[in-house]
Amino acid sequence: MAHSLVGHLVPLSKTLEENASCPRIPLAEGPNVIGRGAASVPDKRLSHKHITLTASADGSASLLVEGRNPVVVNAGKERMRVGSGEKLDIGPGCVIELIPGHHFFKYEVLSGDPSGSSGGGKKNDARAFEDRGRKRTREDVKDQSFARDSQSQANRGQSDVEMIRNFHVPEELLPYTFRLLRVQGLPAWANTSCVSIEDVVKGDIIVAILSNYMVDIDWLIPGQLYLIMKKDPSSWPEFNINVPAVGKFTINPSFFKKFDYRDSAVRLIASVPGYHKGSNLKKWGHMKLRSVLQECTFDKDFQKSPLVYQFSSLGSLDEKWMTELASSMSSGFSEDKVPLGLGDPLIIWPTVED
């Protein structure tokens, strides 16, 4: 037996007016799967099974986020973020952002339904949703940090930058929230609530070992640089470390001064952010790697070798860049001067344990 139609998801523009160029999504009583295809939105951030909206005949509904990206539900003064695997009860008049700040849909029930037959009914549903939202925020501090005040509703027509400017964290949650890095060149409001290294580490910093991530040196050691400059590197003591495969190991800085790097078998390739062209094109990153590999000769076993990748920011890489990287990593020739050829990419996905 077919389920009866109880309502629609009405597509809206960013000004919260109905977008007539997109079709409404019909909602039957029971679970309704909504994703990239049903929403007619060619956005790869949307999963094919992005949300499941379980609608009831009385106009109430339960929203479950199935995809990896969160959604936002807006009803009156409450704007709630719902993460992957989380549920939220909604009512008629609620606006669902399938991607926060993008792809707005309003939940409407069919006319004649008690919940949606009058404006007063919709207001009651919205008010009930706000009560549920307030209860949810009291129970879960993490979700409350994503709440916005009513001013964001009035500023919805502004640019994305303005929306970020107007975001704020409730005062009672400020002790739980901070941004670690203060970035040079950004306006003062963007660096508000940031902390410096002096807020995190007490005492003088004598030696700093940095990772491959960008670090603002002035942020790391403000006013402390003279401590390092005063010490003559030749007078630095030996470093004693415990290497799991070797045991206790002593590193003498003078070794690196005396080492003959002409016979070294390691090439260090620097990665410099930005776009490079002309003579700088092959100085950095995977283009430098390509030029190095093109000078190398490999055994035939290396032809079409698999390419193993692991990235910390996999979501920010597009298909074009990945294709260029594969071409660079497959550069070089076998002993018979035949190009190695493209290998199959194997991506190691970052995990919580890693």
Helix (H, G, I), strand (E, B) or coil at 291: helix
For the cut 80, the answer to whether the pLDDT of residue 196 exceeds it is no
Q: Are residues 110 and 24 in the same domain?
A: yes
Choice between 274 and 162, residue whose per-residue pLDDT is larger = 274
In the prediction, which pLDDT does 147 show? 42
User: Quick check: is 270 in a domain?
Assistant: no
Q: Are residues 148 and 36 in the same domain?
A: yes
Q: Are residues 147 and 18 in the same domain?
A: yes
| CATH code assigned at 48 | 2.60.200.20
Q: Are residues 192 and 132 in the same domain?
A: no
Q: Are residues 42 and 90 in the same domain?
A: yes
For the cut 90, the answer to whether the pLDDT of residue 54 exceeds it is yes
Q: Each residue of 88-113: pLDDT tens digit? A: 999 888 999 998 888 899 999 986 54
Q: Are residues 15 and 97 in the same domain?
A: yes
CB 297 within 8 A of CB 335: yes
Q: Are residues 182 and 150 in the same domain?
A: no
User: Quick check: is 194 in a domain?
Assistant: yes
Residue range(s) defining the domain that contains residue 318: 278-347
User: Quick check: is 320 in a domain?
Assistant: yes
- Amino acid at the residue 353: E
User: Quick check: is 172 in a domain?
Assistant: no
Average pLDDT, the chain: 72
Choice between 76 and 107, residue whose per-residue pLDDT is larger = 107
Q: Each residue of 305-353: pLDDT tens digit? A: 888 887 766 666 778 888 888 888 888 888 888 888 888 888 877 655 5
Q: Each residue of 228-263: pLDDT tens digit? A: 444 555 555 566 777 777 777 777 777 777 888 777
Give the Cα-Cα-Cα angle 49, 32, 74 (nearest 5 degrees): 85
Q: Are residues 85 and 196 in the same domain?
A: no
- CB-based contacts of 101-104 (< 8 A; 24+ apart in sequence): 101/72, 101/160, 101/163, 102/43, 103/39, 103/41, 103/43, 103/46, 104/11, 104/12, 104/13, 104/14, 104/16
Q: Are residues 219 and 294 in the same domain?
A: no
Q: Each residue of 36-47: pLDDT tens digit? A: 878 777 788 888
Q: Are residues 34 and 68 in the same domain?
A: yes
Domain count, the chain: 3
Last residue of a domain, one of 123, 154, 185: 154
User: Quick check: is 263 in a domain?
Assistant: no
Q: Are residues 141 and 181 in the same domain?
A: no
User: Quick check: is 162 in a domain?
Assistant: no
As a whole number of angstroms, the distance between CA 15 and CA 185 comes to 32
pTM for the predicted model, two decimal places: 0.35
Q: Are residues 150 and 94 in the same domain?
A: yes
User: Quick check: is 39 in a domain?
Assistant: yes
Last residue of a domain, one of 202, 230, 258: 230
